[in-house]
Amino acid sequence: MYAEYLGDTFDVMQAANGQEALALVADSIPALIITDLTLPGIDGFELVRQIRGNVSTRAIPVICVSGHGGRAHEERAREVGCTRVLEKPCMPETLAKTARDLVREQL
């Protein structure tokens, strides 16, 4: 749903899991990454850790969307390097605005 909504404004690439996301990021450095924290295989926390651990990708802003609420979960996401954390249910308009703001900051 988010990819479809964001596709009106952004060039969107999708990955089915964390490993596929890492491969996409390695092949084409995106302006922004949006990930859920709950993913099959490596989870979103590990995905962000690996992105932040790579000199080529460490500066890419990362929006993490999570169905797990709570301060501790958000703090953990920020500790691994999430630029913004949005809690589900997250309205597509909120995600799009956050994405636009972060991309603009990069310019």
8-21, pLDDT tens digit by residue? 989 999 999 999 99
Asked if residue 69 is part of any domain, the answer here is yes
Asked if residue 106 is part of any domain, the answer here is no
The CATH number that applies at residue 33 is 3.40.50.2300
Asked if residue 84 is part of any domain, the answer here is yes
- Distance between start and end Cα atoms, the chain: 27
The total number of structural domains that make up the chain: 1
Is 97 a residue whose pLDDT tops 80? yes
3-state helix, strand, coil in the chain (%, to 5): 45, 10, 40
Asked if residue 27 is part of any domain, the answer here is yes
Residue 8 domain boundaries? 2-101
Is 69 a residue whose pLDDT tops 80? no
Is 70 a residue whose pLDDT tops 80? no
Is 107 a residue whose pLDDT tops 90? no
Asked if residue 107 is part of any domain, the answer here is no
| Cα 38-18-89 angle, rounded to 5 deg | 35
C-alpha 44/C-alpha 77 separation (Å) is 9
Is 64 a residue whose pLDDT tops 80? yes
- The DSSP bridge pattern shows strands 84-87 and 62-66 to be parallel
